[in-house]
Amino acid sequence: MHRIVIVGGGAGGLELATMLGDRLGKRGRAHITLIDKKSTHFWKPHLHEIAAGSMNLGMHELSYMAQGHWHGFTDRIGEMTGLDRNRRVVHLAPHVDEFGEVVTPLRDIAYDTLVLAVGSRTNDFGTPGVREHAIALETPADAEQFHRRLVNACIRAHAQSEALRPHQLQVAIIGAGATGVELAAELTHTTRELLSYGLERLDHTQLGIHLIEAGPRILPAVPHRLSEGAARQLQALNVTVHTGARVSEVLERSVQLADGRCIPAELVVWAAGVKAPEFLSGLDGLESNGIHQLRVRPTLQSALDDDVFAIGDCAACPWLGREDNLCVPPRAQAAHQQASHLADGLVRRLAGKPLKPWRYRDFGSLISLGRYSTVGNLMGGLVGRNLWLEGYFAWLMYVSLYQMHQRALHGLPKAALDMLARFLSRGTRPRVKLH
């Protein structure tokens, strides 16, 4: 039986495994294996809400084993460390649990078709102090760590008898892309809520949020109009925005800028730039670019091996129709489109039919600015013309993006029931996570 191995259970990888499991695995036409170093899936665009405390991880994470059982694929836990294309095997490191016990040994997983969907990591550009003193929101564990430190910082400030020191209750977010902007906005809402739970000695004006961007404007990858709208709303939320501010070093209690300014901060989040995992660079001779992404053809096949595919943030895929030789940007909508296209393509390939090239359709950008507020634009391919959105309606469209992901994983009935259950249970828990 044909063996399809998918490495990486992010948005693209898990959607692809689910679709192929339903279409091929359940029917005995192929054996589908999903490999991930974690046991559960969480939709990465929501990490800022976990960090701010407005979302409970336990209500939104999904077990790979359960999803595989329901949808006809096999889950294998482990971290990919290498590849042998001649033997057609993926090398996995031993998996060690939080107690230091080895769960699975060093092993190889054989494949006939391999799909790499290992996502991206934060790119600190070698900036001194980032690894020691900043938190990168790469995983739910990172987001929960930040939130615990934020809650503890507020409790500590409330309990102390002396005046607050300059760095206390100050949060510095480095990088004003979508993650940085959304986190800054979400924190302004959740910290006010947090202080209302018995921390009456503190005032929300004592919590400072600094958004630091090296470029001339926030959200540099989106249209100017969207960037300006987000900047206005952040200003209304009392977020201090520093543009044209390149960070030279992150210290224990401050952020040093290249122009000599120093921003005191108790918590620092690094959200500036992404790169693919380093093990992809030179992976058994496969071609990669400067940020370790594998170069792929429009069919999503790697440049040098027809049996190795890559999708999502780890793939440098040409943007067909563009004359500037740009690659498709690392966005959730691109991973979703690639997963759907490749699911069709691999079914065709097993039937002996040729693969079709994938063409990216940019449906626009939506940036969440906290509860019930969003700015963005929807492109012509989705609504017939360019449509600029702001406020509550834009927020509804933003929420629908997550529901699209849920429908891809569970189907419409179960996704609707899950959404209804979360809505009905809102009154039984605090509006912000307190631990």
CATH code for the structural domain at 130-270: 3.50.50.60
- Helix (H) or strand (E) holding 294, with range, is strand 294-295
Q: What is the pTM of this model?
A: 0.90
Over residues 389-425, the pLDDT tens digits come to 666 666 677 777 777 888 888 888 877 787 777 666 6
What gap in Å lies between CA 32 and CA 111, rounded to an integer? Answer: 10
Q: Which residues neighbour 395 within 8 Å (Cβ) at sequence distance 6 or greater?
A: 368, 371, 372, 373, 374
For residue 154, what are the CA distances in angstroms to 47, 128, 150, 252? Answer: 21, 27, 6, 18
**Domain locations along the chain:** 2-120+276-350, 130-270, 364-428
Structure tokens at 212: 């630091």
Same fold, 2-120+276-350 and 130-270: yes
Q: Is the pLDDT of residue 10 over 70?
A: yes
Confidence category of residue 379, pLDDT binned at 50, 70, 90: low
CATH code matching the domain that covers 2-120+276-350, chosen among 3.50.50.60, 3.40.50.300, 3.30.930.10, 3.10.20.30: 3.50.50.60
Mean pLDDT value across the chain: 90
Percent of the chain exceeding pLDDT 70 equals: 91
Over residues 100-119, the pLDDT tens digits come to 999 999 999 999 999 999 99
- Helix (H) or strand (E) holding 181, with range, is helix 178-195
pLDDT in the model for residue 38 = 95
366, burial (CB in 10 Å: exposed 0-12, middle 13-18, buried 19+): buried
- The residue among 406, 278, 345, 360 whose CA lies nearest residue 115 is 345
